Structure 1
Amino acid sequence: MRNLNRLVLALLLMVSFSNVNAQDENNPWAISFGVNAVDVFPVGEDAPQGDYFQEFYNVEDHWSILPSLSTISVSKYIKNNFSVEARGSINQITKWGQSEDNTTEPSIKVGDLMYYALDGNVRYHFSKLLSKLTKCNTFDPTLGIGGGYTWIEEGTYNTFSTDETASDLVGAGTVNASVGLNINFTDHLGLSLESKYKHSFEDYLTSHFQHTAAVTVKFGGADADGDGIYDKDDACPEVAGLAEFNGCPDTDGDGIEDSKDTCPNEAGLAEFNGCPDTDSDGVSDNNDACPTIAGLKELAGCPDADADGVADKDDKCVDVAGPAENGGCPWPDADGDSVLDKDDKCPTVAGTVANNGCPEPVLPSTEVIEKLNSYAKTILFTSGKANFQKATLPVLQSITAILKEYPDANFTIEGHTDSVGSETLNQRLSDTRASAVMGYLVENGIAAARLKAVGFGESNPIDSNKTRAGRKNNRRVEVKLVK
């Protein structure tokens, strides 16, 4: 008995308070091997048996223990903290109570009566509730109820006969109630302790207590990848992984599981979804066009030495700022007029910004315009027609020469008449005379695009049409500068 106590104490001292699991969905099956003790004394019977729970822990005087493997059970976890168990036991009853005065015979001996039992049990496990309260899965208290059949070899106190030599087995059904404690060493190994009261349905079979201590082996949980996480709880059941990632791996060990790691084979940072930032420029290597040189986020991690917004790797003028559309180089200005060649309509000749890089046109002065009009007033036409008189040709030649001196200037040739005749006739006459002058100028080298002929008829007199001299002044051609 002392050896058994020492064994139990040693097993208790071996208990680790780590986060091991009780029998549950992960390891639904369990087999237990151990020893059992039968106590027929504290069962509420007449002497030599005693009252209920009397001297319940009096192991030395009342417990009959077979000091060898004497009980084996198989159990299956069902669900919702319930399990079912089938148990078989053998024993030899050597103690059957005590004398009434408890002095002459503190332990009444009987002659090694054989004991056999087959029991079924339904147990409720409190491990999950206890785990919530204590954060520890080591202990699993249980309550059980069940039934079975027990045989006890006939003897002096369990037969109607007084013949102690009788050897027939007395068997009867029992209803059982138990309380137990499972102590988990690992997910697969534990110690099971249980006390069970077995109430007989027949008077000839005494009710009794049976106590068991057994080593329990739990199994049945599938773990295909061998990572210690059961397949039903393993998000990656075919690849060994880590508990903190529900069984999924973290190949590069950066604390980010592979399924969420953009760079699963390179240790990186969470802010970059597991990718590294080798040059520490705030751009992860998988998005960094220049991963070994610190650069700018807006340039995909590449540097920009001249700060022109063009990455050095794409900049044809790394040290001189320039626009991206010109490869990072500044636009040329060949004529130095501050108008870039791409915008300069006269890229080889210095001009002004206002004139798109071309020189400002040289326009005739007021004096020149007055001179042109003094010539124009002397243009003579055949009366009522647009034909020039011979004396007019030198005048037209002079006008042509002046216009050629100002190739960038544009002019309007205006025709006017006096009020003699109908207004319609005068309008037509002024149109044809202005066109005749323009035609002469074009024929003599003045670009048509620089000229425009307009007739005003008698609508714009510069003198009175009541006098001969006034009407002469109103019959005229004017040359005006277009600004």
Structure 2
Amino acid sequence: MKHLNKLFAVALMFAGIATQAQDSNNPWAVSFGANAVDTKFSASESFEHQIAEYFNVQDHWNIIPSVSYVGVSRSVGNNFSIGLTGSVNKIDKFVSKVPGTINSHVVTNPGDLSYYAGDLAIKYSFMEMIKSKVIEPVLHVGGGYTWMGDASAGTVNGGLGLNFWFTENVGLSLQSTYKHSFDDTRTPDVDVASHMQHFAGLTFKFGGKDTDGDGIYDKDDACPEVPGLKEFNGCPDTDGDGIMDSADACPEVPGLKELNGCPDRDGDGIIDSEDACPDVKGSKMMKGCPDTDGDGVADNVDKCPEVKGPKENAGCPWPDTDGDGVADKDDKCPTVKGTIANNGCPEVSEETMKKLNEYAKTILFDSGKASFQKQTYPVLQAITAILKEYPESRFSLEGHTDSDGSDALNQKLSEDRAAAVKDYLIENGINFERLSSKGFGESMPIDTNKTKAGKANNRRVEVKLIK
């Protein structure tokens, strides 16, 4: 076993001086196992005979019962690798050819010749060609130096190998190498006979860098510092939705490919993070919410989701307290039924104006004054009540007198009496902006001033609707 230490040292030294660029997974490989030396093989014998004797293990193969070879190799790209192998053995079965014959030979024990060899080989792998991940045929050529007893010589080598990979990194290696010596008198301790050397052992590949430990080597890993998946070239898919994080707009929540990896629980085509109603199918116009009544106000903010209404009123129809078809907000008389043409207020009819003026004719003033007689107050109250029914209508109060007295006096008296009626109405709740007053004196009589009855008719207050 002391020889194995030498072999390991040689192998490690070769590993240290190999400087080719790393261009394949696990570029380094270390092999160790047993070797067998068969001195039967010689270029002077026929090829057919050599093949026939290839597996004559018992008669020809020299084997020691221990680990007897160590090899180190490194990939240099394009299916090529360079390797160095050191081996040790003992030759107690030396095959010599019987003089004067072609294939006849004799096996002798040369006295347990020691055997050491160091071989450099260029190898070519056919694994990629046969598209296999388990079986790897290998062809190799090279040279080496062999010590056999007291003799030593350089050799030219060539052979075939076959690797069976149990895993990506561990495999069984079988190899046969023919070593041709140019000084081949086949005399023990004098020269090194051409021979065949067989190897069987385990091979371990290593050296591939996988920084993130995801089983994908850095050279093939698009995300070498983050554990990922093989189908995404080593990049992660945190939410497991089949979309790698770099292309996933929602990398921590499972989603849909057509929505860049974001979820859409209600299936309305709007991602949950932008959907105001993520559990109810809606429309893009309503930010993912439904609009049941179709009034343009989304249900989630519509206070009347099943009844159409304007946005300004939170989706509810405007109230119409008096039911006149004019919404309270536009109804100048929201508690009194009116017409649309009059902004929701009742329109003053001719009949109403006739009634007002019938009352106005019965307004009695003290003689020559603008003060009311006592029996006139119920009439004034009745007029007030009617005006309150038309809160948006405006009226003009017009005073008239008979022809008694001067024009100036009658003009002033008519103005004062009209103003008195206006003041009474204002004091009893009629908005002053709705009323105006004017006096016409004796200028507009409706009856003769020659009779007492005619004069009584001319002394009057008339109510006119201002349109």
Q: Matched residue of 1:228: which SS?
A: coil
Structure 1 contact 188–217 (Cα < 8 Å) conserved: yes
Identity of aligned residues (%): 56
Task: State whether structure 2 residue 190 is matched by structure 1 residue 192.
Answer: no
Match of 1:319 among 292, 303, 306: 306
Amino acid aligned to 1:138: V
1:114: Cα distance to partner? 1.0
Deviations 1:301-334 (CA, angstroms, capped at 9, x unpaired):
2232323231122224323212335532335678
Instruction: Give 1:237's aligned residue.
Output: 224
Per the alignment, in what secondary structure is the counterpart of residue 129 of structure 1?
Answer: coil
- Superposition pairs of residues 107-118 of structure 1, within 5 angstroms: 107-118=107-118
The equivalent of 1:68 in structure 2 is 66
CA offset at residue 201 of structure 1? 2.6
- Name the CA shift for 1:141/1:345 in 2 (closer, same or farther; >3 Å): farther
TM-score, normalization by structure 1: 0.58
Q: One-letter code of the match for 2:198?
A: H
- The answer for the alignment partner of 1:128 in structure 2 is 128
Structure 1 residues 328-363: Cα deviation after superposition (integer angstroms, max 9, x where no partner) = 23356788776778899999996678x999999x9x
Partner of residue 400, structure 1: none
Aligned to 1:82: 80
Matches of 1:252 and 1:87 in 2, distance apart? 49
- CA distance in 1 between counterparts of 2:32 and 2:111 reads 26
1:27: which partner in 2? 26
Mapped partners of 1:331, 1:33: distance in 2: 94
Alignment match of 1:146 (pick from 122, 142, 145): 142
Please state how far the C-alpha of 1:252 moved relative to its aligned partner.
2.2
2: CA distance, partners of 1:150 / 1:189: 29
Correspondence 1:84-483 to 2 at 5 A:
84-97=82-95, 107-131=107-131, 136-153=132-149, 169-203=150-184, 204-331=191-318
Q: Gaps spanning 5+ residues in structure 1: where?
A: 1-22, 154-168, 363-406, 408-444, 446-483
Deviations 1:80-125 (A, max 9, x none): 1111001111111122227759999874433211111111111111
CA contact (8 A) 2:49 2:103 kept: no
Q: Is the 8 A contact 2:69 2:86 kept in 1?
A: yes
- Could you tell me whether the CA contact under 8 Å between 1:43 and 1:51 is conserved in 2? no
Q: Does the 8 Å CA contact 2:41/2:194 hold for their aligned counterparts? A: no
Q: Distance in 2 between matches of 1:56 and 1:234?
A: 46
Distance in 1 separating the partners of 2:268 and 2:49 = 84
Deviation at 1:253, TM superposition (A): 2.2
CA distance in 1, matches of 2:316, 2:48: 110
Q: Quick one: which amino acid aligns to residue 181 of structure 1?
A: L
User: For 2:295 and 2:259, how far apart are their aligned partners in 1?
Assistant: 28
> 2 CA distance for matches of 1:50 and 1:276?
72
Partners of 1:29 and 1:71 lie apart in 2 by 17
3-state DSSP of counterpart to 2:156: strand
Query: Helix, strand or coil: the match of 1:60?
Result: helix
What are the equivalent positions in structure 2 for 1:1-16 lying under 5 Å apart? none
Report the AA paired with residue 254 of structure 1: D
Q: Give the Cα–Cα distance (whole angstroms) in 1 for the partners of residues 212 and 78 of structure 2.
A: 27
Listed one character per residue, the Cα deviations across residues 54-81 of structure 1 (whole Å, up to 9, x for unaligned) are 5122222111112211111111101111
Specify the code of the residue in structure 1 equivalent to 2:119.
Answer: D
How many residues matched?
324
